[in-house]
Structure 1
Amino acid sequence: MEALKAYRSWSFLSLFIVILFWVSSVHVEYAGARNISVGGSEGWRYGYNYSDWISKAGKIYVNDVLVFKYSIPTSSSLPHNVLLLKDKSSYKKCNVSGGIKLADPTQGIGEGFAFKLKKVTNYYFACGVGNGKHCDVGLMKFGIKPVVKKGC
C-alpha cells in the first residue's frame, strides 16, 4: 500500500513538472513577440515607400505581429486594403489578381488590422486598390522573410 502511495505521489509530481515545463516553454516562445506598426507613424498610406521602411525596420521574427493602420475611406480620402501576394513575381509587377485579401478598407481603422508571422517564409504584402495602382504607383508594398529568434 505504501508503494502505491509513493507511486501516485511520484506520478503527480512528474505530471506537475511536465506541465510546468510546457507552460514555461510556451510563455518563452511568445514572450519576445512584438507588435510592429507597418510604416511606423506614417501608417498604411498611399505614397509612402514601404520597401524602404521595411529595409530599415531591423530584424522581423517569427511570431511578430504586423499591424496595418489606415483611415476609414471618405469622399476626400483613398480607401486601402491589405493583400498577401502569392509570390515574388506578383510582388515585383504589383499583380494583385491572385492575392489573398487579408483586410478590407474598414479593418485598418482604430487599432488596425493585425497579421501574425507564423513561419519562416517569404511574405509579400500590398494594397490591391485600383487593380494594383496603390501597389505600383503608390508604393504600398513590401516583402519580408521573418527569422527565428535565437535563444527562445
Structure 2
Amino acid sequence: MTSISGDVTASIFHDRNRLKSVLDHQSFQSVVFTNGCFDVLHRGHAAYLAQARALGDCLVVGLNSDASVRALKGADRPIHTWEDRAWLLACLRFVDFVVFFNEATPIETLQVLRPSIHCKGGDYQPADLPEKPTIDSFGGRIEILPFLGGHSTTNILRKGGRIQV
C-alpha cells in the first residue's frame, strides 16, 4: 500500500516495543499520544488529531484492535479493519506513527512509550481516566481537547441507516 508521498506502512507498528526503539533514536522533544477506534474517519477526527499534533513534535496514535472495537462499540463494528484504519491514519500528514493495541485501554502502550502528553477528546475529565495514574507515574501530562461540533461516527452511521442508537 502506498500513498502519493510514498509508503506509509513504515509508520505503522504492531509492536509497541519496536516503536519505542524508533522513538528513542529520534530527536523528538515532545511526543504526543492519543488513542481511539477511528472506525469511520471524519473531519472531527482530523481536526482533533491536528490539534494534538500541534502540542508536540511527534504524534503517535494508539489504535484499538478489531476485537477491542467490537467489545467497546458492539458486534457490528468495526466497519473498517485494523489495517485499513491504520493506513488511513498514517496517510494524515500530522500523524507520525500508528501503533496497535488489543487491550480495552492504552495503559500498557503508555507504560512502554511514556509520551510527554496524552490527549483525549472533550468528553473526558482527566481525573476519571483509567490511564491517569500511569501518566502521572512518569511525569507526563493529560490534555483534553475540544471536539469539532457536528461530527461523530455515531451520527454518520445513524444517518446512513447503519445503526440505531
Given the two structures, how large is their TM-score scaled by the length of structure 2?
0.26
Q: Higher helix fraction: Structure 1 or Structure 2?
A: 2
Given the two structures, how large is their TM-score scaled by the length of structure 1?
0.28
